[in-house]
Structure 1
């Protein structure tokens, strides 16, 4: 059996900067995937996406993903059985408080019959978002799009979320997506609010719900600010509903 020095293993080398040719591509993918396991994007014990989904996520071949999983499997960070692969990192279960659902309107718990799609892109946000986030016109930022519909095509909801420069600078998990936000790969940011709280930000939400004229739908606009009144994120959600306008506010303390 081949011997490996500690620097051969992603879990001992951490997430180093990579220069071209320093490491094989599969080792870099293993390190990036390990980072997502550690920051809770994939909680301990939860099944990993399939090889095809991971290949789309990291924009590599399935063979590269397979080799990356082998690296993590060798180090005991991933285990595979007949139901698939899952993370085996130690640690307590990740909290999933209902109030932290991202984006607003995301189905929780996930309906296995629903068709969900989420992507991120690095692009100029909608004009209203840029103004709310204090961004210069046409300045790109991280934009998240979420679509969901029931198995019968009903109950459709569409959300567009934009993040501020403050959020991307202070929340490492969000900033990491900048170089991978191509607008096509499937990306879930379900724990975005939890990441913000872990970064020491107190979250103040202001949700405005307005019924759209001449349509059986409502628009929900959520603006999230921190304890210094700095904008962090704004989401516009359109969903089938029958409600009058409603505004409510609440605050989530930073994680201790």
Structure 2
């Protein structure tokens, strides 16, 4: 959400007048911007000061507008700040594949959990990511089981120093990455793209000898060939047939 110019401030102040409370007008303006994809669903909104400058009003007016949108379920607030909570993705906003590799869609009987920790990555990850031996980084762990436990998936992702330096949303996890709290990094690849990174995915699938399971290793680089993350996914299917399914969104 770009900061407005002085000329725009004058225009907004002139149009946000009349019998309707000013905070309701600001709420309507902000909602319109959210619906057009200025801030994608789930992403953090700018702070009250920046919103006040953007709309040319006081911070108290912005605070009242946000409270109105919260009551209507259109904005959610947690310890990370306020977030757009509109259902679905706005038209025209591309959505990358979900994170982590192998993550399931929520459904009846499906169990899943995810955590992040600041720790030394698994063997082999540090070398690929250009990390010095023994140097900690952000490590994401994901586990899921299908109904009845017929198929289990375990994914471990390590992020590079480049990813943490370039992607603000990832860097914010460092101070609370204790390996116990739930972690929602579903939009990780969208965060990377919004940070100006073009993503190159390379997935390698190998059969684990003597078992019906497979290992999928994903390496992600940016447009400068800098490593961003490495994910090891193990699918324990307990059956002979294994299906690796993914979806590429249509262009809009």
Residue 79 in 1 paired to residue 76 in 2?
Answer: no
Match of 2:101 among 88, 104, 115: 104
Shift of 1:240: 2.9
Superposed, 1:25-64 pairs within 5 Å as 42=42
1:75-134: CA deviation from partner (whole Å, max 9, x where unpaired): 2342378xxx96384879536967521111001x32232011000000000121101100
Q: What does residue 236 of structure 1 align with?
A: 232
Structure 2: distance between partners of 1:229 and 1:113: 40
TM-superposition CA deviations, 1:126-171 (whole Å, max 9, x none): 1211011000011010000000002311210000000000000000
Matched residue, 1:94? 89
Indicate the structure (1 or 2) with the bigger Cα radius of gyration: 2
Q: Cα distance, 1:42 vs. partner?
A: 2.8
The total of aligned residue pairs comes to 179
TM-score (norm 1): 0.61
Q: Give the alignment partner of residue 111 of structure 2, picking from 103, 112, 115.
A: 115
Q: State the Cα distance separating 1:72 from its structure 2 match.
A: 9.1
CA distance in 1, matches of 2:64, 2:112: 28
Superposed counterparts of 1:166-177, under 5 Å:
166-177=162-173
Whole-angstrom CA distance in 2 between matches of 1:118 and 1:186: 6
Deviation at 1:39, TM superposition (A): 6.9
Cα distance between partner residues in 1 of 2:196 and 2:223: 10
After superposition, the CA RMSD in angstroms is 3.3
**Is the contact made by 1:72 and 1:78 (CA closer than 8 Å) also made in structure 2?**
no
With over 3 angstroms needed to count, the CA separation of the structure-2 counterparts of 1:190 and 1:182, relative to structure 1, is same
Q: What's the TM-score, normalizing by structure 2?
A: 0.62
Over residues 31-66 of structure 1, what are the superposed CA-to-partner deviations in whole Å (9 max), with x where a residue is unaligned?
xxxxxxx9757369xxxxxxxxxxxxxxxxxxxxxx
Alpha-carbon separation, structure 2, partners of 1:140 and 1:147: 22
Alignment match, 1:185: 181
Provide structure 1 residue ranges, at least 5 long, that are not aligned to the other structure: 1-37, 45-70, 247-256
Q: 1:205 aligns with which of 201, 219, 243?
A: 201
